[in-house]
Structure 1
Amino acid sequence: MAQHYLVCGTEDCKRNCQFYCNPCHQRLCEGCRDEHQKSPDTKEHEVVTYKQRKPQLPEEKCNLHPKRNVEILCKECNVPLCAKCIFLKEHAGHQLDDLEEKYAEKVAFCRSEISKIQEYYLSTSQGLKKEIKEDVMEIKKTMDNIRNSIKAEAESLKELVDRVTSDKLEQANKIEETLLKTLNLQKKTYEDYTEYLEKLLKEFHRYKSITNFRVLFSEDFDKLKIQSIPETTQLVLPVFTAGQFYKDDVSKLLGSVNFPNTKPDNRRIKPMETASTQLKLTGKQTRRDVEKLDMKQTLSLSSSVTKVREYTVPGVDNVCHISLGKSGRLWGSDDSGNLVQIDLQGNQLQKIQTSGKYEGYHTVTQDGDLIYTDRKNKVINRIQQDNTITEFIKTGDWEPLSIHSSRINGDILVGMIKDKEAKVTRYNKTGKEIQNIQRDNKEQELYKYPHYITENINGDICTSDFNKQAVVVVNRSGEHRFSYTGQGSVFYPYGICTDLLGHIIVCNGYSGNNSLDIIDQDGQFLSLLLTPQQGIRLRGLCVDDESHLHLGQFYIPTVTVYKYLQ
């Protein structure tokens, strides 16, 4: 039903009420207001907009003088009085106030508090309640991951026990084989000696039966001597010494679940909006949003980039991908499969040949090891810090393209393809598969060729997909958040990384529109850090611990370091 507008209170005037006379408590339209202020009797009256009106004091009879209305407040007794009450002895000399003014102040205070409750306290508490609900879900996910990690650690330990058991059984088999070989040799010695004795026995029997006794005094007879029985060594049999281990030892091997040695922060309550701050915070904002706001107060995107230094990666033709390791060391790779590690001075430390090309196919783990995809053999290899290379994960029928080790929890994210399908798989740090992301909630394919991948500070998985010509971003649960398709007519994303502020930085590798795009964690375009006019062909990139941007180029083995935050 339609609502009737508020009409003017002047008799016979039916126009819209816009103003209010506080002394008269009368509603006024614009015309009646002008007349009201011209009248000698009311020209001094306070006329305000209707929203700013003072409430009219309700009629209430005096307890002592029932025919009179209360209209005065005794400040010292804090009781309402009528005009006749002020002459009573108990109120003599007391300070008095206009009851209507005081009533208006109280009503105004109530309105202010109601506004605060409705616009701030309720929304803020609802926001904190929602945050707790999100934390409950986060705890469930975290504990599920911990339980999966415990199981994975146990499986890993079981596999290790099986391998050690197999090695020890093999060792026992070899010991048995050696002992039996020695005993067989001793057996052969006595078999030969027995054969010799039987032959000698025949000789003595022959000589005993000879009739010509002179033969017994011949030189041949004198040579017949019984050789001593050969000596052999009694073998010492091996014994098994049982290992000594206890429940605590096994518990230590399987890790532990505990709280970090940090004091928990209080939940951050959004500040009330004031004219000085003009902070537009809503109840929907969470602790992470506030932390991001705090971070931006000390670090922000600069209006221009500044070249800091430049270095060469020896042993590669170009730099298609960069992985930062510990102690400032980094790994760089080209489109020919050359993977090189260098130190801070640019010296080559090691070089291996891989099947990688235009992909972000290597990453450094939390432990400092490098892991890289072998697309040809469909495995993920690990290079430990002693430079040994071992097979880490088998990917079955899927070809692994891109890989990223999470800085949040050590999980490993892998972009893969098979025939005309593509997906992102999450493994825990022990290599156990825990999640597959392939389609959105409408069962539409998310990826076509996920050849670079990274993770944002909020847990979002950011994938550079060449064939989709987009950066595809999903949350940690695998739900599609947004896709960024660049600023020009053609967008071919290559290297991708994120920074401390949650910015997503991606190389647009299209030759006619080569640029470096930066967007926020919600997909909003912020700026082009580098443009085609600067004449560069970008491929690989990463951000170091000092928030400097390392950019690898396509035609030359050069990495340029830029400062882009202030």
Structure 2
Amino acid sequence: MDPRTSAQDVMQCDLCETAVVQMHCDTCLVNLCTACVGKHMISDESKDHKVVKFQLRKSTPLYPGCTTHDKERCEMFCNQCDIPVCTSCVASDKHLGHKILKVLQVPDERRNKIKKNVTELNETIYPTYQDIASDVQNRMSQLEKEYGDLSTAITKHGEDWHREIDKVVQKLKAEVDEMKNTQLQTLQKQLDEINKTMSDIKDEIDSLEMATDNNDLSKLFSVTLSVHLYRNLPNKMILSLPKFMPGTIHEELVKLFGVLSTSSLTSDKHGYKMKTTQKSPEAGSSPPVKQLLDQPETVTTIKIDIQAVYSLISSQLYNVACLSDEEIWTSGNGYTMKLYSINQGSLLKLIKTKSGNSPEDIAVTKSGDLVYTDINDRTVNIVKNKKIEEVIRLQNWRPDGVCSTSSGDLLVIMESNDYKQTKVVRYSGSTEKQTIQFDDKGKPLYSSGSYKKFYITENRNLDICVSDGGAKAIVVVNQAGKLRFRYTGHTAAPKNRSFIPLGITTDSQSHILTADYNNHCIHIIDQDGQFLRYIDCGLRLPQGLCTDTNDNLFVAQQSNKQVKKIKYLH
């Protein structure tokens, strides 16, 4: 049977295209019959033709061509340069002293690397990108919903304004009608009197004419002339019409109606984590996403006992710091710092300041030690096992707010003795590591002057956040001390009073929370300074703030000397 006409496919020689294939050139990847082998070998004598039986094709490795030396094959591999090389390359100075391997020693290792790459792409990277794509789609859907809610809120607020404007318009129109009716009634009364007088004059004329036309002289002499009564004309009513003076429609209307905070779209290279089936430290360090509660709620209230240093001054509560999820440190204008049980509300421990002064601010270190600043003694102190150690003593500066960072450093905000300068200093133990005082243009970052109050904290993203009561602002710089933003309050503050920030803290979501002393509330802003929400919960003169590991907020209220524990996150 002719194989070319059989039902089974038979490969034919690539040269003559008639004979059945029996041989194969591994160099040129050409199928040959036995008769064409010699013809193929002499067709290109520059090549080292490797002709094998067809069944053994691909058994001869096809060495890569050298990119430096034409027509040479690379049978060696330079380990340092990680490239195949030919014998001429090996003989050159370019690879002198390099470790040279046979190229056939490399493919297995290279194949294993490629397989590992394919496995990682298939099992880790591609699924991670699938998750990221799904996350972006979900966020786009959420974005559509939230922007829709925002537009609805603006529309509703506009409708509320329209109703109020309609009320104002109706009230003004009613006042116009009332004024009009009053003046019309007055004029109508005068018109009635004039009409009556005109009728009397008409009667008088008729009476006089009758007397003059009569021959009866007695009637003529009996007429009483009263024309003088009508010579006194009525008063002319001078009307004063009201004028409508419309208020000027300008930019203030926009502020009164409400303004939008700026949106932001930033890129966080640490935002996504590679998908993995193993639990890693990185996975454990990323906190779960929590949403703000629509209505924050008070969990418990703790009454704090404060005895003022001076008996003639009323006692006040200033600061609160979380030792754990069950215990809080507190301080005020007394010379003691007190540890309270959160659940029981009972006093657990009492520490007196070394100098007898009231502590300006308190904080808790990562190891659980209490730190406090003594503004009058110009010291920063740490309490270890009830023993007070002086960590920092300042000469020309007065320490105010203090916080312990995630790295174990202390951040202290301080004022000069003459109250003309303010700066933040980072300490490692007693060693000064960093000073933050001016922006890129050489201007002070923080306000100065007597009777100013500062609090300080570190955000989860390592930003340094300061509440500057004198500037009425939250000043946030990055870890290097470069200004990121200033937050100066929100237009719709609950009491509509000026923004006076005092205590400041952060949470696992990198939210920044500050106590607004003047408006009796807490502001929540995101890590980029965008306003998110107020917390009210019946607060009164809030000052010190802190959060525990579960993101519960603790608020120290100055005058009533109460600490409120507030839940504000899901």
Give the TM bin, normalised by the shorter chain.
0.3 to 0.5
